[in-house]
Amino acid sequence: MSTLIPTIKNGNKRNHDYNLASLPSLPSWFDDFLGKSFGNEFMSNFNTGITLPAVNVIDGANEFVVEMAVPGLDKSDFDINVDNNLLSIGVEKETEQNEDTENYTRREFGYSSFKRTFSIPESVDTDKISASYKDGIMKIMLPKRDEAKKKPLKNIKIS
């Protein structure tokens, strides 16, 4: 049976004959260095961007449902597309805070984004895909074609 399959985008797959697993990656080395060198006071506001949200995929009798917990966003922040049997869910969010007082001006801004991509099985009717966002939960309904829907159990009597 077909299921939604997450695709890897910009993956970290290595095709080398030698083993680099014992060496730390440069980003993890910096994370380790910064995490050990500075206290939590410094790191508390350091990386407050959106992280890659976890996704639930439900295989129902009549449809697949993709659920994603992404609180604090507006419907307009989402970009959901279907292209060549790939479902992509992306978010771009810009924030800006200005604070003016008598002696100084402070301006903080940020930019956060993520993108999740899934392969859509042939059993999905892509023309009828819909989405809703309520209470921080994004739900995308992918209805199955009639021929792919699960048929009810049929009891066959012996004659």
Instruction: Say how far apart CA 62 and CA 125 lie, in whole Å.
Output: 11
Answer whether 0.85 is exceeded by the pTM: no
Across 97-107, average pLDDT = 75
DSSP string, 21-41: TTSPPHHHHHHHHHHHHS-HH
**pLDDT tens digits for 47-90?**
445 578 889 999 988 999 999 998 888 899 999 999 988 999 99
How far apart, in Å, are the Cα atoms of 109 and each of 49, 99, 133?
11, 12, 25
Is residue 154 predicted with pLDDT exceeding 80?
yes
Q: Which of 34, 43, 10 is nearest to 114 (CA)?
A: 10
- Sheet architecture: strand order including 55-59: 55-59, 63-69, 137-143, 130-134
Round the average pLDDT of the chain to a whole number and report it. Answer: 75
Check residues 53 and 7 and name the one with the higher pLDDT: 53
Q: Is 148 helix (H, G, I), strand (E, B) or coil?
A: helix
Percent of the chain with pLDDT over 70: 69
> Is the distance from CB of 152 to CB of 31 less than 8 angstroms?
no
pLDDT at position 13 is 45
Instruction: Say how far apart CA 21 and CA 78 lie, in whole Å.
Output: 36
Structure-token pair, residue 106: 């402070």
**pLDDT tens digits for 12-52?**
444 444 455 555 555 555 455 444 444 444 444 444 455 78
Record: fold of 49-148: Immunoglobulin-like (2.60.40)
Residue with tokens 């604090």: 72
Instruction: Say how far apart CA 18 and CA 15 lie, in whole Å.
Output: 9
Check residues 133 and 33 and name the one with the higher pLDDT: 133
Of 11-15, 23-27, 93-97, 155-159, the range with the lowest mean pLDDT is: 11-15
